[in-house]
Structures are given as structure tokens and as C-alpha cells.
């Protein structure tokens, strides 16, 4: 097919004109329209690059290489000449390269050494709708560079399915161009009944359905989507063994294959072919001839695992949008069919879109990269979509704990720059660097691989399996990792045989998935100049290595009778009961499950545990030790005591009691217990409470007197003053209270309280009636009728401004009327009351 006939050329003239006018543009065009291969050539052929280079960013390594190869073929030159590519550890480009296809993360790292992007004329962000974290960050850095030192830099963002409006606002001013695509109709079908892939493997379901469709006359080549290399290999095997595959070429396609095998999968053949691929075939690559797509609906999706504190790559169900992308691969050259290996109701229950990586990945590696490029304030970075502030804080805390960022100013350290060279999570970069020092690189790589997937060991495997497991793997150990390493070695030696693995309660498939990850980490270690040892490393070396990688999850047992622990950063936790290191006093945990309890306290379950020694902490982190004196309230003894704590960072490793606590700290703790009602302050009685109410009454009703209201914080300070000098419940018995409370006011202010909010009011009979003040109403006076005969108006306080509420009492002191209007009582109610009371109490004086 002539590339010039591709739909993208419909917007060639408009795109060139827009980019000549201003340096930013967005291009939306369907998959198969030719944007990935043709737009870079348009820029080059129309002279928009000048003497510079266009860098085309791709989200996946395989697409990066294959797209570069296709464009090089179209231009009739060798790969690495005018057209080249660069992925991590593979650079096929030269000084002559004008169009360079690269992965997103690689360019961000290159910005560290070339902050002005000298020599680059254009950045093209392809398949931007996937919203990879490094794509977002690289676009933001490119904008910063363009707005400051490189106004001539062209920025072009392209996608097949992009919500353009937010991006258009972010890039404004920019041009927006849309190209039509040519799609043939695709019939999408579903399974009639749900399938449990745990019972019937996904490759078996795919092979069965493929045979059915081929026997029914399905045309063209086939593309089958599987989540990973293992599932692909099983599917390839199942199809090759099928009688329906006679005359077919069956090939795998995924990122771990050699370039030769990848090229073979996308090549054209005279025979029909079936390609079994991961989600690398969803976008960017157009595989000619495909008319039948079988979609497992699964992919390995990177996501932050809060239990492990790392990004994981676990098999998950894809979104509806990703499923639509996959279905579209069947309609590029002719009408096609897509069979989804799930039901239509299950499809409706899937999420519409994948979350952008900025919202689902750990940011530690990205933050470290930004710090290395001079970004001081991560929150102020011009994100396309702001990350959760908690995610940023978590990343910065971890990087400080690992020694990658300075503890005080947050700047990147030399160690952090060394860690940045490792294409992995900073936790494992730090662990591998330590492993080189301790001579346990191979073991560290295996430990890293073991944390990436599901647990190898079946929980509650049964008594027989547990007994065999203990016999083969050992029961007592200093680390759960040692048990996992032995379990994996057993599974590997036995070829991941299901029966043999089941005998020990080992997940055979999970064990199988460790091998490629182990090799991946070993390859990175060698490429960074580390030396995997041939002999088994000492246990202590591996334990130290794990300590360095997980020092932010260090914990100390609270006592020997329970599994409860103190954990760094002020957390409390409990070691998992099935941990082989559960009885060790000092441990690090590779998995931390945080659960909020009923009292909103954060409870932490620690698993994948390794025992460590305090001496190792002093050896590795000599500057992270300190001592502090802490004053605490001992609930059992009902007294305040002083504790001297030996700390590693903020974690108390040991505590000893002794010495007299500071008086002000003791007073604050005792006051808190008094306010909770746990302790009694005998001198704080009803009279004291009434004094405070009298002050607050005048503050409310006579603001002109300028008396200070007593709020909750003031009350707390008053209680603390009353507790000053006491250290226990016993001491509180003799603490003076009333003088302390009254001293809150000056003598002149105290006189105002006595005058305008008196404790008692004089009655005509000579009796002095107590005034009871309340929080939310006028004060109250209780008096017998005979004491009130000569009072015709109201009784008042606050200088006559506030009438009190009168409780009028019978001779037996029981209330017969409550009123603020005494005149109305004498007129309207007293005759009846007098008649009743005079009959009961004839000896009393009645008027």
C-alpha cells in the first residue's frame, strides 16, 4: 500500500501550516490512519525540523522499535541512519538520525543531561491517551523548556482516542486537528456463559473458541490478546497442536521476545497466521491482514500496591475502552469479528476507562527523576492532572528513608543519583546497590522478583501439605524470604509440576512467573556493573540487604507475649501469625497492610518479615540514632513518669524509666486525664464551676465590662495551672484550685464579677438567696414565698439588666411556681396558691 494514500494525509497541509504558525498542536486520528509513521515524516519532508531531530515518544518498547523499522523501510534507508530508535539498553541511532523513536521514560532521563533539549527540533507524543506517568511528566517538562529557553521547540501530541478538551486547555494556545480513519465494520460477540479462568485456563478457552470460529469459516488472520508471556506460550502450544491450525503460522508477540521473533510476528506470509500478543498490539502497531480478534480481556496493569509500598504488575481485567481498541484491530483491511471471552453483562460491569497512571502508581521513581532535574517543589510542578498530595508525601518520605533525598531540604543526594540509573523502583535500586556491598546480588534479585506477584505459598494448605512444606523448606528461619526462596527453588527444580507443587502448597503458576522477573533483575544488575555471585550468600548478608530496602518498615516488638509492634512513622502493628520470624524482637516487613480500627487508630499487619539486629542499624545508619526524654501518664499507677527512649529515626528501640518529669509536662498530662474524667481534682467543685459561669454570663450580657470569656482552651489551661506541681492522683488532693481560678482575673475584674454577677442576692427578710448561673439562660434563684412578700417587681443581676428566674418555694421547700414576672404571680396565681398552702401550713404567716 502506498503510504501517501493513508487517511492522515488529509490533514497534512493544515498540520504543516499550523506548526509554522505556532509550535503546539494536537492530532486526533484513529488507529490505522498512519499518524505514528507518517506525521514524523511530514515534519521532516516539509523542513519543519531544520537541522534538528524529531523525537517520537512511544509508551512501549516493542512499538518503538517496530515503528522505527517500518519508517526506515519506507524511506529506503538502514535502521539507525536517518531513522533510528532508542529504548533502555538498546540504542540504534547515530548522528545522522533525524527521526528517533524512543520510550517516554528514556527521554525524561535524557533531559537530566540535556536540559535545553539541544539538537531536538520537535517532540511528538504518540498514543498519549494511554496517559502513562512518564508521558505526563515529559510533556510538562517539555512545556517548561519551550516556555523558557526553547520557544522554537515543536510539541505535537497525538492519539487515537483522546479526550482533547482538557489537553487543549493545558497546551493553550495550540492547534487541534482531527483526521478521519477508514474502518471496516467489526462484529463484536461475547460468550454466552461466564468462564472461571481458575478452573478452565484462559489459553484453553481461547483455543476452543478459535477452533469453533475457524471451523465456521472465519476469514483472514487472527490476533489473540493474552495478559503475559506465559499465557501466550500456552496459547501458542494449544493452537499448534490443534488440527484446525494445519497450514497456519502461529507466532507469539510480546516485549520479552528477541527482535527477530518480534519481526517474525508482524511480517506478511502467504499462509494465514495467528498472532498471540500482549497489549503491545492494542495501539501504535497495525498488523496487516487481521480479521479475527479473540480477546481474553486481561492485561498486566501497573498499579501501586499499598501493602508492598511498590508498583506491581498484576493480571487485571481491562477497561471497556481498551477492549474497544483491541476489537478495532479486526477492521483495518476488511470487515472483521471480535470475540470477547466474557459475557455482555460482565462487559457492562467493567470500568469505562483505565485510571491515568498518575492516579494509580507510586510516584517515588518519578519524584526522584524530577528532583534530579532540579524541581524543588513537586506540588508546584505543572502537572496535566495533579497527583494526590498524599501520594507525593508518601513518595518523598520513602525517598528520604532510602537516603535518596536529603533529610532537611529534600534535594537529591549522590546516592539518589546512583539509584536513578537503575530502571526499577527506588526501593529495589537501593537494595541492589547494598547487595553489591554485601555480596548477595543474586539473592537480592530473587527477593525483588518474589515481591512482584502473588504469594507463592497457599495459605491454609492443610496439615499434610504444611508438614511436607516444613520438611522440605524448613520451619525455623530468620526471614519469610528464605522460605519463599526455597519454595521457588523447589518449584523450579521440579519444572513447576502441578502435583509436586501442590504437595507443598505452592502456587505453581505464581512460581513460574518469578523466573522471568528474576532474570530481568539480574540483567539490570549486570548492566549497572553489579556482580551476581556464584555461591550462596550468607543469610546475614541477605538480611542486611532487605533491611536497607525496607528500613522504612522497621518494627520492634512491644513485648514477648504478643505479636504487637511499634513501626516507624508512629504506627502500631502486629506481625502476621504465619511468619517464621514472628518471635524476633526487631524486624523489617516487606508487606504492610494498613487497616483503620473502630477507634480510627491505624492498625498495621506486617508480613514477609525478616529479622534484623540493632548492631546492623548502627553499622548502616549511625547518624539516625538519638535519645529523647518522654513524659507519659501511667494509667495503672495513676501518675506521670519520665521515660528515656533510644530511637532509630522516630522508632523507640528501648525505653528506661527514671528521673523527675518536667512539672509543666506532668501538669498537662494530669489535666488531660482530669478533663476526660479519669482523675479527680478535688478542689474543682461546684463553687469553682459557678465562678466560671458567672464570668461567662457577664461576658455575654455585659460586654461593656470587657471581662474575658472562659472557653474550652482556657478551661484546659486553668486545669493545667491547678495541676502544676502534682505528679499523681495522690498529689492532686492537696492542690489549691480556687485561688488559681480567681487569679485568672485582676482584682478589679473580680470586683466586677462580685458586683454584677453576685453569688447571692439579699432578700427583704434578711435571707441571702443563692444565684445559680447556667450556660445558656438567665440565672435562677430559689426562695420561699414568705421571703418574697415585700418584692413587687423583678429580681435582677448584671446591674438591673437581666431578671433572674424565680423558683417560688412552699414552706416544705418544694417549688410551686417558676417565673420572671413576680408582679403577675402576685396578681394572677397567688390567691389560688395561698388557699392551697394555707390549708396545709396554717402556722405559717400568710398575707
pLDDT tens-digit readout, 261-304: 888 888 889 999 999 998 877 766 778 889 999 999 998 877 76
For residue 766, count CB atoms less than 10 angstroms from its CB and return exposed for 0-12, middle for 13-18, buried for 19 or more. Answer: exposed
723 closest CA partner among 747, 708, 701, 740: 740
Q: State the pLDDT at residue 373.
A: 84
608 closest CA partner among 513, 704, 478: 478
Which residues neighbour 432 within 8 Å (Cβ) at sequence distance 6 or greater?
A: 422, 424, 441, 444, 445, 448, 521, 524, 525, 528, 530
pLDDT tens for each residue of 633-666: 998 889 999 988 899 998 999 888 887 899 999 9
DSSP state of 827: I
Q: State the pLDDT at residue 309.
A: 54
pLDDT tens for each residue of 127-171: 888 788 888 989 999 999 999 999 999 999 998 766 778 888 999
User: Phi then psi for 196, rounded to 5 degrees?
Assistant: -95, 105
CA 509 from centre of chain: 28
Cα distance between residue 778 and residue 761, in whole Å: 14
Cα distance between residue 505 and residue 511, in whole Å: 11
Which residues neighbour 563 within 8 Å (Cβ) at sequence distance 6 or greater?
A: 557, 574, 575, 576, 577, 582
List of the chain residues with pLDDT < 70: 1, 88-89, 161-162, 181-183, 283-284, 304-313, 459-476, 594-603
Q: β-strands 815-819, 805-809: how paired?
A: antiparallel
Cα distance between residue 533 and residue 726, in whole Å: 63
Q: State the pLDDT at residue 362.
A: 80
Element (H, E) at 347: helix 344-348
SS3 labels along 726-770? CCEHHHHCCCCCHHHHHCCCCHHHHHHHHHHCCCEEECCCCCEEE
Nine-digit cell at 404? 535518596
Cα distance between residue 6 and residue 39, in whole Å: 11
Cα distance between residue 417 and residue 240, in whole Å: 48
Cα distance between residue 836 and residue 817, in whole Å: 13
Q: State the pLDDT at residue 14.
A: 93
Cα distance between residue 232 and residue 236, in whole Å: 6
673 closest CA partner among 597, 740, 729: 729
Q: State the pLDDT at residue 667.
A: 94
Phi-psi region of 735 (alpha: psi -120 to 50; beta: other; left: phi over 0): beta
DSSP state of 703: G
3-class state of residue 58 by DSSP: strand
Cα distance between residue 232 and residue 224, in whole Å: 9
Q: State the pLDDT at residue 460.
A: 61
Nine-digit cell at 13? 497541509
3-class state of residue 53 by DSSP: strand
Which residue is it, cell 495522690? 730
Buried b or exposed e, range 644-676, using 16+ CB within 10 angstroms: eeebbbebbbeeeeeeebeeeebbbbbbbbbee
pLDDT tens for each residue of 223-245: 999 998 889 999 999 999 999 99
Q: State the pLDDT at residue 598.
A: 47
The answer, yes or no, to whether the previous bond of 173 is cis (omega within 30 of 0) is: yes
Amino acid at each position: 500500500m502506498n503510504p501517501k494514500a493513508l487517511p492522515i494525509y488529509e490533514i497534512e497541509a493544515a498540520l504543516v501550516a499550523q506548526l509554522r504558525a505556532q509550535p503546539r498542536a494536537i492530532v486526533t486520528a484513529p488507529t490505522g490512519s498512519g499518524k505514528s509513521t507518517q506525521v514524523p515524516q511530514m515534519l521532516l519532508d516539509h523542513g519543519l525540523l531544520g537541522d534538528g531531530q524529531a523525537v517520537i515518544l512511544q509508551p512501549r518498547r516493542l512499538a518503538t522499535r517496530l515503528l522505527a523499522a517500518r519508517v526506515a523501510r519506507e524511506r529506503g534507508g538502514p535502521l539507525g541512519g536517518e531513522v533510528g530508535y532508542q529504548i533502555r539498553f538498546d540504542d540504534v541511532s547515530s548522528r545522522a538520525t533525524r527521526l528517533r523513536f524512543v520510550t517516554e521514560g528514556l527521554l525524561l532521563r535524557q533531559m537530566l543531561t540535556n536540559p535545553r533539549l539541544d539538537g531536538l527540533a520537535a517532540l511528538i507524543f504518540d498514543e498519549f491517551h494511554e496517559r502513562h506517568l512518564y508521558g505526563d511528566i515529559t510533556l510538562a517538562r517539555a512545556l517548561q523548556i519551550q516556555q523558557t529557553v526553547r520557544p522554537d521547540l515543536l510539541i505535537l501530541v497525538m492519539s487515537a482516542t483522546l479526550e482533547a478538551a482538557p489537553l487543549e486547555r493545558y497546551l493553550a494556545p495550540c492547534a487541534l486537528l482531527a483526521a478521519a480513519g477508514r474502518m471496516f465494520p467489526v462484529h463484536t460477540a461475547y460468550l454466552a456463559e461466564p468462564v472461571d479462568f481458575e478452573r478452565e485456563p484462559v489459553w484453553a478457552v481461547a483455543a476452543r473458541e478459535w477452533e469453533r470460529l475457524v471451523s465456521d469459516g472465519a476469514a483472514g488472520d487472527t490476533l489473540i490478546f493474552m495478559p503475559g508471556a506465559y499465557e501466550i506460550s500456552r496459547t501458542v502450544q494449544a493452537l499448534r497442536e490443534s488440527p484446525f491450525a494445519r497450514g497456519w503460522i502461529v507466532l507469539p508477540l510480546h516485549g520479552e521476545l528477541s527482535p527477530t521473533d518480534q519481526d517474525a510476528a508482524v511480517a506478511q506470509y502467504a499462509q494465514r497466521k495467528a498472532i498471540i500478543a500482549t497489549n503491545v498490539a492494542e495501539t501504535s502497531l497495525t498488523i496487516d491482514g487481521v480479521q479475527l480478534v479473540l480477546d481474553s480481556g486481561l492485561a498486566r496493569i501497573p498499579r501501586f500496591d499499598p501493602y508492598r509500598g511498590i508498583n506491581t504488575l498484576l493480571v487485571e481485567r481491562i477497561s471497556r475502552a481498551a477492549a474497544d481498541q483491541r476489537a478495532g484491530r479486526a477492521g483495518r483491511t476488511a470487515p472483521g469479528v471480535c470475540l470477547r471471552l466474557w459475557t455482555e453483562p460482565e462487559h457492562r460491569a467493567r470500568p469505562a476507562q483505565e485510571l491515568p497512571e498518575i492516579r494509580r502508581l507510586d510516584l517515588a521513581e518519578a519524584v526522584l527523576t524530577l528532583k534530579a532535574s532540579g524541581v524543588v517543589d513537586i506540588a508546584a510542578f505543572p502537572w496535566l492532572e495533579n497527583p494526590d498530595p498524599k501520594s507525593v508525601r508518601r513518595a518523598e518520605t520513602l525517598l528520604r528513608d532510602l537516603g535518596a533525598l536529603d533529610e532537611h531540604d529534600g534535594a537529591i543526594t549522590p546516592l539518589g543519583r546512583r539509584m536513578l540509573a537503575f530502571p526499577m523502583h527506588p526501593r529495589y535500586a537501593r537494595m541492589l546497590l547494598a547487595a553489591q556491598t554485601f555480596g548477595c546480588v543474586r539473592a537480592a534479585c530473587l527477593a525483588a522478583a518474589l515481591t512482584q506477584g502473588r504469594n507463592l505459598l497457599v495459605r491454609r494448605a492443610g496439615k499434610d501439605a504444611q508438614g511436607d512444606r516444613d520438611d522440605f523448606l524448613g520451619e525455623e528461619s530468620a526471614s519469610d524470604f528464605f522460605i519463599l526462596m526455597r519454595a521457588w527453588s523447589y518449584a523450579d527444580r521440579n519444572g513447576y509440576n502441578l502435583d509436586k507443587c501442590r504437595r507443598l502448597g505452592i502456587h505453581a503458576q505464581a512460581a513460574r512467573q518469578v523466573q522471568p522477573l528474576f532474570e530481568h533483575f539480574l540483567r539490570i544488575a549486570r548492566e549497572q556493573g553489579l556482580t551476581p555471585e556464584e555461591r550462596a550468600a550468607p543469610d546475614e548478608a541477605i538480611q542486611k540487604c532487605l533491611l536497607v530496602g525496607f528500613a522504612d518498615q522497621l518494627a520492634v516488638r512491644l513485648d514477648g507475649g504478643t505479636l504487637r509492634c511499634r513501626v516507624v512513622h508512629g504506627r502500631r502493628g502486629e506481625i502476621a501469625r504465619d511468619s517464621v520470624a514472628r518471635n524476633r524482637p526487631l524486624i523489617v516487613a516487606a508487606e504492610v497492610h494498613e487497616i483503620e480500627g473502630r477507634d480510627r487508630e491505624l492498625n498495621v499487619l506486617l508480613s514477609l518479615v525478616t529479622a534484623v539486629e540493632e548492631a546492623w542499624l548502627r553499622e548502616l545508619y549511625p547518624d539516625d540514632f538519638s535519645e529523647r526524654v518522654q513524659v507519659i501518664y501511667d494509667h495503672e499507677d495513676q501518675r506521670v513518669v519520665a521515660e528515656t527512649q533510644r530511637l532509630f529515626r522516630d522508632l523507640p528501640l528501648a525505653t528506661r524509666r527514671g528521673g523527675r518529669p518536667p512539672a509543666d509536662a506532668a501538669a498537662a498530662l494530669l489535666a488531660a486525664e482530669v478533663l476526660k474524667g479519669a482523675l479527680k481534682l478535688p478542689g474543682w467543685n461546684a463553687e469553682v464551676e459557678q465562678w466560671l459561669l458567672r464570668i461567662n454570663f457577664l461576658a455575654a450580657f455585659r460586654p461593656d465590662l470587657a471581662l474575658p470569656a472562659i472557653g474550652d482552651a482556657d478551661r484546659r489551661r486553668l486545669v493545667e495551672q491547678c495541676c502544676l506541681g502534682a505528679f499523681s492522683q495522690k498529689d492532686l488532693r492537696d492542690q489549691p484550685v480556687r485561688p488559681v481560678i480567681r487569679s485568672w482575673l485582676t482584682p478589679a475584674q473580680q470586683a466586677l464579677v462580685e458586683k454584677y454577677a453576685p453569688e447571692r442576692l439579699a432578700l427583704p427578710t434578711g435571707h441571702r438567696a443563692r444565684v445559680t448561673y447556667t450556660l445558656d439562660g438567665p440565672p435562677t434563684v430559689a426562695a420561699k414565698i414568705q421571703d418574697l412578700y415585700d418584692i413587687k417587681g423583678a429580681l435582677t443581676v448584671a446591674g438591673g439588666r437581666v431578671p433572674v428566674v424565680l423558683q417560688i418555694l412552699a414552706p416544705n421547700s418544694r417549688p410551686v411556681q417558676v417565673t420572671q414576672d413576680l408582679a403577675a404571680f402576685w396578681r394572677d396565681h397567688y390567691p389560688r396558691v395561698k388557699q392551697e398552702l394555707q390549708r396545709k401550713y396554717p402556722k405559717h404567716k400568710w398575707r
